[in-house]
């Protein structure tokens, strides 16, 4: 698909898209579609993505969210 994953020093990941590293033109096209989808999801807020806080752990104690 032409996508490489880099782990940044702070633990985040970065996706790099390069058509030259895809096995075929079809894989390159699918990689581009994937990267566009990832870009779209990245711009949405947590609630729009379906992320809902369930709880938080403080000093080995789990507290429910809300």
Cα–Cα distance, 39 to 32 (Å, whole number): 10
Give the DSSP letter string of 10-66. Answer: TS-EEEEE-GGGSSSHHHHHHHHHHHHHHHHHHHS-HHHHT----EEEETTEEEE--
As a whole number of angstroms, the distance between CA 66 and CA 64 comes to 7
pTM score over 0.85 = no
**Residues 20, 26, 28: CA angle, nearest 5 degrees:** 35
As a whole number, the mean pLDDT across the chain is: 85
pLDDT digits (tens, 9 = 90+) for 32-51: 999 999 888 777 766 676 77
Per-residue confidence (pLDDT) for residue 61, from 0 to 100: 85
């Amino acid at each position: 698909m032409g996508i490489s994953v880099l782990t940044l020093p702070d633990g985040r990941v970065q996706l790099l898209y390069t058509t030259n590293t895809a096995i075929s033109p079809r894989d390159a096209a699918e990689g581009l579609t994937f990267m566009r989808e990832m870009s779209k999801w990245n711009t949405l807020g947590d609630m729009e993505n379906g992320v809902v806080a369930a709880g938080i752990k403080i000093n080995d104690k789990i507290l429910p969210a809300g």
